[in-house]
A and B are shown apart, each in its own frame.
Chain A
Amino acid sequence: MAIIETHGLTKRFGELTAVDDLSLKMEKGEVLGFLGPNGAGKTTTIRMLAGIIAPTSGYAVVAGLRPDREPERLHEVVGLLTESPGLYDRLSARRNLEYFAEFYSGIEVSTQVEKYLRLMGLWERREDRVGTFSKGMKQRLALARALLHKPQVLFLDEPTAGLDPEAAREVRDMIKKLSLEGRTIFLSTHNLAEAELLCHHIAVIRTRLLALDTPEDLRQRLFSRQVIVQLETLESSIVEAVEKLPFVQTLHRDENQLLVELADPERNRPELVKSIVEAGGRVMEVSEKRHSLEEAYLTLVQEEEKLDS
């Protein structure tokens, strides 16, 4: 069952189109990575889905509610981690959480505040002013704030941006944990490794949606599968033998390595190895070349840029 659906969601600010005709679906318990360059419309999309700004046209349904029509009801069931933590530096960590928690109905404020301060490892610093916290601590506190009311859907806007590697890992671990708990997470990020690590599906946006798929399917859709054969020495007779094989589509030679694109990698791979061995080759290793999500992302965005220009 889709917990987030958008139908032709569009947002214009005067002449500028920030988000154009965005239609997507997201299942309950899924983590969706929302990728795109700066100014691609990621934050605007999150703001529309979280009921903070209204679309110019199209609509969204989040947790069964229309964000543009029932924002207050929606806010009871979604949590938002904004791009910057947005905390009150002059208040303590505890008071920051209490203040936000008091706006929700049906939650035991002190219990929830204690639970999330402990979960985020901030209980010992609960009475300290947030102004004295590191970036990572502030981000964890902001994440705690987004979780206080046990939201069904969590929108995370660049949760690890500007954090040092250790703090970023802490936040990523927390997101992983929340995902394992079955929360639906809409994750906007620039960090492709992070998206690959955490997300079930990836959406690439550049004002309009360029792709929506699993990371694996996205790679396969954009790149053909290639087999890497590492040999002890690579003779030209071996290259000639491989070139003659009918299922070989492309062939690249790189020192003692052959990079071969096959028509059907699973079926053709044993035949390929056999031919190399018969041609006198000594095979050291056979592997499949994996394109990174970054390559897939850059390919999509660059293709779109070419189309634009």
Chain B
Amino acid sequence: MTRRRIRNILRKEWEVMFSDLNSVLFITLLPLLIVGQAILLIWLVVQFGGEGILANPMLQTAMEKLRAALPSLAGLPVGEQFQVLLLSQFNFYLLLIPMMTAISFATFSIVDEKLSRSLEALLATPVRTWELLLGKALSGALPALLITWLCAGVFLLGTVGLGWGHLLDLVLTPSWFICLFLLTPVVAVLSFMLGIIGSSRARDAKSAQNIVVVIVLPVLALIGVQVTGLVWFTPLLTLALALGIGMADIFVLRVATRLFQRESIVVRWH
């Protein structure tokens, strides 16, 4: 019964979500724009930045950490080493996609239920609150993961298309895969749950997104931390980061579950 109910929730959520053109564009076009923008930026830096940029002490520190992590980098020209540094940031940059997609799904889903006042009728059915929460979480997390992996594919194709394919061996490190297949799901779940928490107090999807968009900042900080050479995310460190966010997921899931109790929804969600 639980599987049938969750399938039912997934189907309805997607039907409602994909019936709105703005939402469809937000979750399909925006991630592709993020990827396109990243590739374009790297291309511009490589084309017009010149090796002068590397004189920056901050980047020199980052390059040193990169060389320490990838000894085979030493055989490449400095310019290409710099390209590897830039391309290696993309795995964190990619995290923006599951984050924004999941937040968008969560806020859209909950705010839509609030506006249509359908939650009370829904809570009068035999569906359990955890089934409802899980169904909604999957309805946001699954597309978020798929679109992220699709964007990763587009990024790789773009890299090859620009003639940088020979650098991919150095970019596709274990950290990259940990980031894509472990960090992305936990970030998607975290974002979705924060989306639920933000939506419980918001009156419309936009204000809900404004409440939770602050969680984008720590991800941007990750990129900053790595590109400035402060910390280089080795596979072990990336794994630890994924586990840390996984723990945060459990905590946030508890908060979201408490907020998602029947009484809270009916009495306090206005």
Contacts and interface: CB of A to CB of B under 8 A. Distances in A.
Given A52-B123, A52-B124, A91 B12 contact: yes
Given A80-B121, A99-B8, A75 B126 contact: yes
Contact of A80 (B112, B117, B124): B124
Contacts of A82: 117, 120-121, 124
Interface string B6-34: 00100110011001100000000000000
Interface string A48-82: 00111110000000000000000111011011101
Contacts of A71: 262
A91 B118 CA distance: 12
Contacts of B1: 105
Given A53-B267, A95-B15, A103 B120 contact: no
B116 A89 contact: yes
Q: Is the interface of B mostly helix, strand, loop or mixed?
A: helix
A93 to B, nearest CB: 14
Interface string B246-263: 000000000000000011
Interface residues of B, number: 28
A223 interface: no
A268 B8 CA distance: 69
A185 to B, nearest CB: 15
Interface in B183-223: none
A278 interface: no
Given A53-B262, A84-B117, A87-B118, A72 B15 contact: no
A47 interface: yes
Contacts of A78: 124
A51 B123 CA distance: 9
B4 interface: yes
Contacts of A145: 121
Given A53-B262, A86-B121, A105-B126, 5 more contacts: A80-B124, A87-B121, A99-B12, A103-B5, A142-B121
Interface of A: 13, 47, 50-54, 71-73, 75-76, 78-80, 82, 84-91, 95, 99-100, 102-105, 142, 145
